[in-house]
Structures are given as C-alpha cells and as structure tokens.
Amino acid sequence: MVRPREFDRDEALGRALRVFWAKGYASTSTEDLLAAMNIGRQSLYNAFGDKRKLYLEALERYQGESTAGHIERLNGSASPLGGIEALLLGLVADDEDERALGCMGVVAMSEFGAADPELVALRNKAAPRLSKRLVERIREGQACGDIDPGLDARQAAAFVLMTMQGMQLAARGGSDAKSLRALARFAIDRFRAR
C-alpha cells in the first residue's frame, strides 16, 4: 500500500519556486530545495520527478501567474496609456529584497538563453498573450488620441516588453525603486501623442 503524501504539493512547489527565483537553476542544490520545501528526497522525486522537472513546473507556474498579473494591470485603467504605465510601474516592488529578485523568467533567459528548447517553449507559451494585449491597448490609445498614432503598435509593444526585461534585470542588479520608476515614466513618455 502506498503511503499518502504528508505535505501540500502546491505549497511545496511555491517554496521551490522562491528558491529557484532567488538562486537560478544551476546555483540551486537539491539540498536547498529539500530544506525550503520541508520534504525528504524521496518525496521530492515521487511528487515532482527530478530537479529539472521541478524547475520547469515552478517556472511555468511563475510565468502563468506573472503574465496574468501583467495583463490585469494593463487592463486596470480605462486609459490605455494609464494601463501601460500601471504595467511598468507595477514591476517595481517597494520591498528591496523582493525587488532584488527581478523576474524569474528573465533570470531563466539570462541563465539559459535560447539553448534549452523546453524553456524556449515555456517562454513562447506565456509571451504571446501579453504581447497581443499590449498591441491591442496601444491601438486603443492611438484611436482615442492618448498614444502617438505614428507608432507601429507591434514595435511599440516589443519596446514595452524589452523595457520590462531591462527593468527586471536592473532590479536584480540592485537598481533602486526611484530609478526604476523614472525609467518606466521615461518609456511611457515616448508613447504620448504630441
């Protein structure tokens, strides 16, 4: 008879996610994971497979949750430009330790680049939803006169996404909240109709 699990799998996954987010894949040891998840080695393997499978599941969860949060901020303002501003400013955590984590997806990109097909597939699964909604909001802003009608909406959306990545990388590198907010506002000003 198989003994039932004595831990909350979802909670354990969340704890593993935090370790991978803070340390990256290569710097996270199995011992780090076991300590954070408060489970034994065999429980980790039974519930999640191996370290790589656990990482992929944690990253997929992170990307799903962060993309949903990005879209919620983007949609949260009646003004398309206000939505884009909320999206960018929402990346800047007030808590220094939280801000220093940056983005787990950007950490994964920095660590693996495009060399790992499974990670590229995960990124390609999450990114189009946000990109599509950004293009829509930019076009809405152009139609109502908030956003420069001369901008190519797809290029402008790509600019926002790259700005997000740069801000997250800068946060991980130690940039303060004031500097990151200034960068977000600078980017937003490039969109305004003149």
pLDDT in tens, the chain (194 residues): 445 457 899 999 999 999 999 999 999 999 999 999 999 999 999 999 999 999 999 999 999 999 999 999 999 999 999 999 999 999 999 999 999 999 999 999 999 999 999 999 999 988 899 999 999 999 999 999 999 999 999 999 999 999 999 999 999 999 999 999 999 999 999 999 88
Asked whether residue 1 is domain-assigned, the answer is: no
- Taking the alpha carbons of 156, 131, 105, 116 in that order, is the dihedral positive or negative? negative
Asked whether residue 4 is domain-assigned, the answer is: no
Which tokens in the block code for residue 194? 């003149």
Other Cβ atoms less than 10 A from the Cβ of 52: the count is 12
Q: Which of 35, 41, 45, 40 is nearest to 15 (CA)?
A: 35
Instruction: Report the b/e string of 3-17 with b at 16+ CB within 10 A.
Output: eeeeeeeeebbbbbb
Residue range of the domain that includes 94: 9-189
State the Cα–Cα distance between residues 103 and 8, nearest whole angstrom. Answer: 25
Asked whether residue 194 is domain-assigned, the answer is: no
Total-model pTM: 0.91
Q: Which CATH number covers residue 58?
A: 1.10.357.10
Asked whether residue 159 is domain-assigned, the answer is: yes
Into how many domains does the chain fold? 1
**Could you tell me if residue 174 is left (phi over 0), alpha (psi between -120 and 50 degrees) or otherwise beta?**
left
Asked whether residue 170 is domain-assigned, the answer is: yes
Which tokens in the block code for residue 171? 């946060």
